[in-house]
Amino acid sequence: MQARLRTVAPITATTQRLDPPVPDMGPPYATHDDLTECCALILGSPTRFGNMAAPVKFFLDGTSALWMSGALVGKPAGVFTSTQTLHGGQESTLLSMMVPLLHHGMYLVGLPYTEAGLTDTRSGGTPYGASHVAALTPHGELSEHESVLARALGSRVAALAARLALRA
């Protein structure tokens, strides 16, 4: 599998998309075509009061045409998040991101407890998806367990996408 990294455009306080120019650095803005062209999706967002960030929600809310056409039905998906502190709402954020993906008919992939990092971690990591607690490391980098769990989620989503592609 090959990753296609994207970000979402910022929005104003009135929830209108700003449509700034494509960023000079970092990934370009996500489009609906990115969603229809991918064979799997791993969606991430920082946590904002136990929920996904407003720009991510705004982007997902604009996918009703994809929902109506069934463009994402049967594609595997996973979710990830980051908080500044422990108990910052990681699991509720992951669950909030799953709801629109379920409405799209996507297959949700999580992390089973056979992943040792889930029981050993003292930072991020949940069965709902990968997560990170930024305040626990000096420069906000992923802990060893968080990194292993994030890679495990990516591997599980990619493996399911490959199995589904063989059946198509």
Q: Judge whether residue 29 has pLDDT over 70.
A: yes
Class of domain 32-65+74-167: alpha beta
Q: Judge whether residue 12 has pLDDT over 90.
A: no
Contact 76, 109 (CB under 8 A): yes
80-139: pLDDT as tens digits: 999 998 888 999 999 999 999 999 999 999 999 999 889 888 888 899 999 999 988 888
Note if the pTM is more than 0.85.
yes
Q: Please give the average per-residue pLDDT across 4-25, as a whole number.
A: 76
pLDDT computed for residue 56 by the predictor: 97
Q: What percent of the chain has pLDDT over 90?
A: 74
Amino acid type, 134 = A
pLDDT band at 144 (very low <50, low <70, confident <90, very high): very high
pLDDT computed for residue 15 by the predictor: 57
Q: Judge whether residue 20 has pLDDT over 80.
A: no
Distance (Å, rounded) from C-alpha 142 to C-alpha 75?
A: 28
pLDDT computed for residue 24 by the predictor: 77
33-81: pLDDT as tens digits: 999 999 999 999 999 999 999 999 999 999 999 999 999 999 999 999 9
Give whole-number Cα distances, 123 to 28, 53, 119, in Å: 30, 21, 11
Angle CA 9–11–17, to nearest 5: 75
Euclidean distance between the first and final Cα of the chain, in Å? 16
Diameter of the chain measured on Cα atoms = 46
